[in-house]
Structures are given as structure tokens and as C-alpha cells.
């Protein structure tokens, strides 16, 4: 029983984060085929929109490393979970920001 729990503990983060990555990639692929990528008028706003998913992954990784320092969680496990959760949050931020109207300045 102990071996099965160890194997599940090792592979479960990989399976869940892999599922998140497949979800995001398929959603972005569908947006590409439909031609419904978010477009912003200013170059700065477009650069921010295009960078939200990678920023989410970097922030997720940084939070995961900090969490592993201060909590009794394995660094390897947090390195697996952090960027995956950051990818999902970055995708949601992309969706929200792409629908938001630009304010005239």
C-alpha cells in the first residue's frame, strides 16, 4: 500500500498539471482557429495581454518556491504545481483582460 501511495504522490501533480496545460493549449488553439484572439489598440496593452500567461507561470513558480521554503512541502512538488497553477491563472487573466475595454487616455 505504501508503494502505491508514493507512486500516486509522484505522478498526481504531473497528471493534473498536464491536464491544465492541455486545457489551456486546446482553448488557445480554438481561439486561433476562430480568429478570436484578444486585440488591444495600444502596443503596451497588447504586449501586456500577450505576456499574461508567461507572467502567470513565473509568478506561480516564485510563489511555489517561497511556499516550499516556509512550509514543509517538497520543493520538487511545488515546482510541479506552481507553474501549472500559474498557467491556469494566467489564462484566466488573459480571458478577462482581453474582454476589458481600453479606457481613453
C-alpha cell at 17: 498539471
Q: What number is the average pLDDT over the span 22-38?
A: 88
The model's pTM: 0.81
Give 29-61 as a DSSP string. Answer: HHHHHHT-----SSHHHHHHHHHHHHHHHHHHH
Binned at pLDDT 50, 70 and 90, residue 74 comes out as confident
Does position 100 have pLDDT exceeding 80, yes or no? no
Q: What number is the average pLDDT over the span 6-24?
A: 88
Amino acid at each position: 500500500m505504501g508503494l502505491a501511495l508514493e507512486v500516486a504522490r509522484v505522478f498526481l501533480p504531473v497528471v493534473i498539471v498536464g491536464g491544465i496545460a492541455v486545457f489551456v493549449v486546446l482553448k488557445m488553439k480554438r481561439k486561433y482557429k476562430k480568429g478570436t484572439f484578444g486585440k488591444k489598440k495600444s502596443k503596451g496593452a497588447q504586449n501586456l495581454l500577450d505576456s499574461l500567461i508567461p507572467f502567470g507561470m513565473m509568478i506561480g513558480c516564485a510563489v511555489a518556491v517561497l511556499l516550499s521554503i516556509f512550509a514543509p512541502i517538497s520543493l520538487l512538488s511545488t515546482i510541479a504545481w506552481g507553474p501549472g497553477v500559474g498557467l491556469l491563472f494566467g489564462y484566466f487573466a488573459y480571458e478577462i483582460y482581453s474582454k476589458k475595454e481600453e479606457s481613453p487616455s
